[in-house]
Amino acid sequence: MSEHHSHGHEHQHDHDHSHLSEMDARVRALESLLSEKGYIDPIALDLIVETYETRIGPQNGAHVVAKAWSDPDYFDWLIQDATAAIHSLGYASRQGEHMVAVANSSDVHHMVVCTLCSCYPWSVLGLPPTWYKSPPYRAKAVIDPRGVLEDFGIKLPKSRAVEVHDSTAETRYLVIPQRPGGTDGWDEKQLAKLVTRNSMIGTGFALDAKDVA
């Protein structure tokens, strides 16, 4: 089955990418200055960033996915109106962007990219990983999504379609990974431990039940 590239809305960003680059440079310069003067510890700062990137943010998304896995009504709501469903759990974005949830199945695998910069659902996934912002990922995800998935160790059967969703300043995507087998009777807290950041971007699967049991 051929790949499908689902862009949802036309990719229009309302921010200036040269400005983002300039702002990033200014932040880095300020960080260096503060470090030199001893006001901040670079190692501590890195730990804070890592915490938001890999723990605090993704835990919000894991809660959303776990509730969707365990509550069919919430799953339906999430698919129909992800923005409202996610906000109902207390995760609201300051940017006010529209959220769209897409669910993986045995027929289709979803993957998210931002081809123009690095639009990303911070409210549910925290800080975007470095590779998500890299030009190689942004280009290859559209041209060769199966190749990207294989780079992440994900090999899909040819019968499973791949849909690539291009995030914008107005619309962000959350992938609902397939629920692992052997989790019948698990509560939301247990299920959330199976949900990884990459599985909610589409570059990974949820963990096996035996890995967290």
Task: Give me the catalytic one of 35, 88, 93, 118.
Answer: 118
* Predicted confidence (pLDDT) at residue 35 exceeds the cutoff of 80: no
167 is catalytic: no
In 70-193, which ranges are E strands? 98-103, 108-113, 161-166, 171-176
Q: What integer best gives the mean pLDDT of the chain? A: 83
Task: Give me the catalytic one of 35, 88, 93, 117.
Answer: 117
106 is catalytic: no
pLDDT for the residue 205: 97
Task: Give me the catalytic one of 70, 119, 123, 199.
Answer: 119
* Predicted confidence (pLDDT) at residue 1 exceeds the cutoff of 50: no
pLDDT for the residue 128: 85
Sketch the domain layout of the chain as residue ranges: 4-212
pLDDT tens figures, 43-56 = 666 666 666 555 56
Contact 113, 138 (CB under 8 A): yes
* Predicted confidence (pLDDT) at residue 154 exceeds the cutoff of 90: yes
93 is catalytic: no
Task: Give me the catalytic one of 18, 93, 114, 167.
Answer: 114
Phi (first) and psi of residue 103, to 5 degrees: -110, 130
The pLDDT confidence band at residue 123, using thresholds 50, 70 and 90, is confident
* Dihedral sign (CA 176, 181, 182, 184): positive
Residue of 76 and 32 predicted with greater confidence: 76
Q: 82-91, long-range: CB within 8 Å, 24+ apart, which pairs? A: 82/174, 86/123, 86/124, 86/174, 89/60, 89/63, 89/64, 91/60, 91/63, 91/64, 91/123, 91/124
What is the b/e burial string over 138-156, where b = at least 16 CB atoms within 10 angstroms of the residue's CB? beebbeebbebbeebebee
- Does 3.20.20.80 match the CATH number of domain 4-212? no
* Predicted confidence (pLDDT) at residue 148 exceeds the cutoff of 60: yes
pLDDT tens figures, 158-206 = 999 999 999 988 899 999 999 999 999 999 999 999 999 999 999 999 9
